[in-house]
Every structure is written in C-alpha cells, then in structure tokens.
Amino acid sequence: MDAKKIGIMGGTFDPIHNGHLVIAETAREQFRLQEILFLPSGHPPHKEHTMPASHRCSMVSLAIAGNPFFTLDRREVESSDISYTYVTLQNLKKELPQTELFFILGADSLFDFQSWRKPEEILTYCSILAAYRKHEQQDRFFQQIDLLNRKYPGKFFPLDTPSLEVSSQDIRNRVQHGRSIRYLVPEEVGAYIRAHHLYQGGIGI
C-alpha cells in the first residue's frame, strides 16, 4: 500500500484569498495528494503586524469549508513559540511517520528558501512544491528549481498554476481604500471581512 501523501500550505493568510486555494487545489491534483493542511502561522519570525489568529483561522475555515480534501491545522497559532517551518514539519513527521509530506510555497518563497531556518532539516521531512505563473520570470524560476535540485537532489518540484494575480497585501489595501475584493476572495471571506470591519484604517497591514 502506498504511503499517504499530504500537502502543507503555510502562510499568514492575512487574509486567505483565491490564489491560495488555486495553488492548493493544483498541488492536490498534480501530485495526487490525499489531504492539504492549511497551516496559519502563529508567530512568524519575519512578520510582526498580522491580524489576530482567531480572525485569520476563521477566514481559512470559511474559505476551505466546501472542499473535503482541505483541513485547517491550528498547531502554530495555538503555540506560544515562534513559528519555524522545520519545527512544525518535525512534529508532523513524528505524528505521521508513514506519510509523505509536501510543503507548498509560492515562487517568491522559493528564492528565499535557503535563508530559512535550517533548510536542510526541512528537506529531511518533506519535498517542496513551488507554484509559478507563466510570465517573464518563468525562466528564472526554473533556473532556481534546477539550482536547488543540484544542491538538494529530487526535493523541488514545480506546480503549474493558473495565472491569478492576487495577494493578501493587495486585498488589505483595497479594503482600506474602500475598493471591491469580490472574486479575489471567497464570498464567505469577503462577508466576514465586512462583518468584522477588518483591515480598515490600516489595521492588520
């Protein structure tokens, strides 16, 4: 029997948007993953000003509710420690020793990966699935994949995702300036942001 394959989608999710969901679904389909864990960061080392975890987790929960393969994992937000990826993956691997783990990240994070805390240890627990979009940086992206695979053989794989130019920062800015975020986030997430008056006056930016 083949090992179970689980994808891990980490991030601040401040807020979660349709781009995150498209990347996760692409990873699930392309690599035949049985489950994707959405893992909101609790205390990320490089980001200080995020919306409280309760709001970010609520928005993730609303966004993924319609997909039976997507699960919210609160382990980082429920910990008082700084959220280091290698520690989270170490704990997951202890809990799921027979499971093959795939950590999903965007193209920007791919270029930053070697500056993360203990990148070699991260790769003992998982493979990396990196999302790219078909644009002028595509050649640079694949050069980086090749470079990393020469250093860490067979650990980095490209995700061919549809082009969806959306970012959490753009959504926060749009809300702050009273602009529409319809079709950029799931309808339920947009309703939650409005109901709780999130990201107004620069809060959470």
Q: Measuring CA to CA, which residue among 130, 34, 48 is closest to residue 82?
A: 48
- What are the structure tokens assigned to 204, written together? 């959470």
Q: What are the Cα distances from residue 204, in Å, to 10, 58, 113?
A: 18, 15, 25
DSSP structural state of residue 80? S
DSSP structural state of residue 159? E
Q: State yes or no: cis peptide before 15, omega within 30 of 0.
A: yes
What is the structure's pLDDT at 43?
Answer: 77
Q: What are the Cα distances from residue 182, in Å, to 27, 40, 107, 187, 194?
A: 24, 23, 25, 7, 12
CB 83 within 8 A of CB 44: yes
Task: List, for the chain, all residue ranges whose pLDDT scores fall below the cut of 50.
Answer: 202-205
What is the structure's pLDDT at 52?
Answer: 93
What is the structure's pLDDT at 164?
Answer: 75
